[in-house]
Amino acid sequence: MIRSISVTDLRTNLSPVSELAIDLDRSGGDALHRQIEASIRQRIRSGALPAGVALPPTRPLAAELGVTRGVVVEAYAQLVAEGYLTSRSGGYTQVASTAAAAPPATALRARRPAPSRPGGPVVDFGYGRCNLAAFPRAAWLRSVRRVLTEAPDERLGYLDGRGAVELRSALSAYLNRVRGTSADPEMVVITNGYAQAVSLLMGVLAARGARTVAVEDPSASDDARPIAQSLGLNLVGVPVGDDGVRVDAVAELGADVLILTPSHQWPTGGVLSPQARAAVLAWAQRTGALVLEDDYDAEYRYDRAPIGAMQGLNPGRVAYAGTASKTLAPGFRLGWLILPGELVEPFAEAKLLADRGSPILDQLTFADFLARGEFDRHLRRMRPTYRSRRNALLTALARHLPDLQPAGIAAGLHLVAWLPPELKEARVIAAAAREGVAVAGVSPYRLSPAPRGGLIFGYSNLNERAIADGITRLARAVSGLREGMTHRKDAG
């Protein structure tokens, strides 16, 4: 995915080759130059390549893609002819100023109009999502083709409740290598995302006598809360500090299940230390409780070393949950659990009763995508993009709103900025909306009142220019609030 940058000097603002993320299918499909054209054209249409951004020179791009320079020259020439690109003196090629606003007729016929959103925000710092425009369509399509061509007929029949063994094997190998889990394919169960995983697991545990579910406070308890209520389970909150859940509160906890996000606490971004992890696991071992480890975005880290999963430290007391929602696309509804041995069969039975199993073609495709290293390559392409956007957000906050305190910045796809005491969360959010900025607060994710408010900034779907614009607008909103407070104080 191309990052958006202002272009004042084309020679110093060339788009990095590594961020074009062009996937080429060399198996005999479309000509290579047409695939390059289509990839760049799609990014211009989506706004990922805004007007004025300079494309990489043809030689470095050709070397990166493993093609001759002539292939890239031909692709650029076609896009220039269509009006998407302009060729500058000195060999620099950039996105045309009219490309997004008035594409040629051939492009209009190919593009479906986007639905209008009257009254929507100008800048939306929405969180909990990856950059959907960067989905690796060509690589995924290659896996789809292989699966449809090579999968035996019997693989299209009903599955057992655990899911396709091909995907369970590929996932256990990947997670053991990258996340430090201790997984065997027989311990892995495929689900339709995290929501189904937590719903089925709580049902299984309730049937086995569980009565109390503990969640971090604040946390994304909107998944667990209605499920707990429907099952007649008690839901309790455990306070969160700067480094994640407070272990002193865990030590006094009387719960059958503790749901944690230890590698990147949602939403504050704290990372549970090795000592704290050991203390939580000791509590679980002593009480017989289960820790549900929600590892929702651990693949994206920028300023810290990898942190292994808690499940690898005690597979008998930790259930590990992961999904493709933050890495590929939430619409796939692909999730997985690594379960302690005694929970695998009852969970698999619950899964069968719920929906007879997740779609087999999606599972086999993801298994092929994983096994061939495409998932790793996709993550390597996306990390620099997300890091650049996070850096742009931090720079804008420091410049325009220096008294907001960012937290949880070392990983993930969002950060929290704590507000100073005089700024009330709800008022800031409302003032931001009047300036065309959508931003969420931390308060809705709390079970108990908090002394200070905070804002949650998602940055994965915004380019650098939109991020800067959004923070400028937010600063204008905050300035207006402060002026109003000063006037009221003077009047009083």
Look at 29-38, 385-394, 424-433 and tell me which has the smallest mean pLDDT: 29-38
Rounded to two decimals, the pTM is: 0.75
Look at 216-225, 250-259, 363-372 and tell me which has the smallest mean pLDDT: 216-225
Residue with tokens 């220096």: 402
| Measured distance CA(28)–CA(185) in Å, rounded | 35
| Measured distance CA(205)–CA(425) in Å, rounded | 37
Are 417 and 404 a contacting pair, CB within 8 Å?
yes
Chain segment 69-107, per-residue pLDDT in tens: 888 888 888 888 777 888 765 567 888 876 544 344 333
What pairs with residue 484 in β-bridges? none
User: Of the candidates 462, 418, 421, which has an alpha carbon nearest to the alpha carbon of residue 441?
Assistant: 418
| Measured distance CA(361)–CA(382) in Å, rounded | 25
Are 36 and 73 a contacting pair, CB within 8 Å?
no
Number of Cα atoms under 13 Å in the Cβ half of residue 26:
4
The percent of residues above 90 in pLDDT, for the chain, comes to: 59
Look at 14-28, 310-324, 374-388 and tell me which has the smallest mean pLDDT: 14-28
The percent of residues above 70 in pLDDT, for the chain, comes to: 89
Are 294 and 438 a contacting pair, CB within 8 Å?
no
pLDDT computed for residue 113 by the predictor:
39
pLDDT computed for residue 12 by the predictor:
38
Question: 112 — alpha (psi -120 to 50), left (phi > 0) or beta?
Answer: beta
Chain segment 19-70, per-residue pLDDT in tens: 566 878 777 667 888 888 888 888 887 777 888 888 888 888 888 888 888 8
As given in the structure block, the two tokens for residue 424 are 């009330």
Q: How far apart are the first and last CA of the chain?
A: 53
371 by Cβ neighbours in 10 Å (0-12 / 13-18 / 19+) ranks as middle
User: Of the candidates 210, 375, 386, which has an alpha carbon nearest to the alpha carbon of residue 303?
Assistant: 386
Boundaries of CATH 3.90.1150.10 in the chain? Answer: 377-491
Report, at the CATH architecture level, how domain 151-372 is classified.
3-Layer(aba) Sandwich (3.40)
What pairs with residue 213 in β-bridges? 235, 257
Boundaries of CATH 3.40.640.10 in the chain? Answer: 151-372
| Measured distance CA(13)–CA(120) in Å, rounded | 31
What pairs with residue 337 in β-bridges? 189, 321
Mean pLDDT of 383-405: 95
Whole-number mean pLDDT of the chain? 86
Best CATH choice for the domain 10-115 from the list 2.40.260.10, 3.60.15.10, 1.10.10.10, 1.20.5.510: 1.10.10.10
Look at 65-79, 136-150, 376-390 and tell me which has the smallest mean pLDDT: 65-79
Boundaries of CATH 1.10.10.10 in the chain? Answer: 10-115
In degrees, rounded to 5, the angle at the alpha carbon of residue 310 between the alpha carbons of residues 375 and 328 is 20
| Measured distance CA(205)–CA(156) in Å, rounded | 31
| Measured distance CA(74)–CA(462) in Å, rounded | 31
The CATH class for the domain spanning 377-491 reads: alpha beta
User: Of the candidates 386, 207, 175, which has an alpha carbon nearest to the alpha carbon of residue 301?
Assistant: 386
